[in-house]
Amino acid sequence: MPVNLHITIAESSAIVRLGLELQLKYLPGFRIRLSEVTSPDGLAEGLRRNKPDVLIVNPAIPGAAGLQHLKEECGCPNVKCCALLLHPEDPALLRTYDAQVSLFDDAGSLRQLLEQLMAEKRAAEEDDDSQTLSSREKEIVVCVVKGMTNREIADRLYLSTHTVITHRRNIARKLQVHSASGLTVYAIANKLIELKDLNG
């Protein structure tokens, strides 16, 4: 049974936008509804009106830099945001995105990306139902407390870096803890890790 998905594409170039839409429309396993944002001024209104599952946006569009604030303001905090890469971008700028889509991606890459994003979105929505940490989130807390980077955590737990970042955001939101030292206190208090494990 196909997965229903609403995708908004924010890109001013009609050629790029229509080419991407054509690829997305015929992806096997998905029934995709598409909407467009063709100008920077329409980004906030497009998000507010469409409430998409996925936003594919050119990072050069003004407003795209403040995505987290924009998502909250528009009432769609769980929308997955993909940077649409038309040329090389500053890696620091891309950290705020859940994923990246390149002009050179084929249909198989797009399908894999959407499957990953939807799995992450479902996991985040399930976690919203409970303020207690899932077993996966507890594993990630322990890794953070041990000083591991997102990439190291992803390799250790066989996840993508984007999934680790999503879990870390959920952990911070649930616990209202935004520092490694705060997570250390939580982990010790909840017997996720022992003090002696931190000194080794």
Confidence (pLDDT) at 96 = 83
Give ranges for CATH 1.10.10.10 in the chain. Answer: 135-199
DSSP labels, 10-57: E-S-HHHHHHHHHHHHT-TTEEEEEEEE-SGGGHHHHHHHH--SEEEE
Give me the residue label for tokens 């999503």: 166
- Stretch 149-156: mean pLDDT, rounded? 92
Confidence (pLDDT) at 35 = 94
3-state secondary structure of 66: helix
Please check the confidence at residue 180 and state whether its pLDDT lies above 80: yes
Measured between alpha carbons, how far is 32 from 48 in angstroms, rounded to an integer? Answer: 19
The region of weakest confidence among 9-23, 65-79, 80-94, 152-166 is: 65-79
Please check the confidence at residue 53 and state whether its pLDDT lies above 70: yes
The region of weakest confidence among 49-63, 92-106, 119-133, 134-148 is: 119-133
**CA distances for 133 relative to 150, 152, 167, 188, angstroms:** 18, 21, 10, 15
Q: How confident is the model at residue 17 (pLDDT cuts 50, 70, 90)?
A: very high
CA quadruple 169, 134, 120, 10: dihedral sign: negative
Tell me yes or no: is domain 135-199 CATH 1.10.260.40: no
Fold type of domain 3-128: Rossmann fold (3.40.50)
Please check the confidence at residue 162 and state whether its pLDDT lies above 60: yes
Average pLDDT, the chain: 86
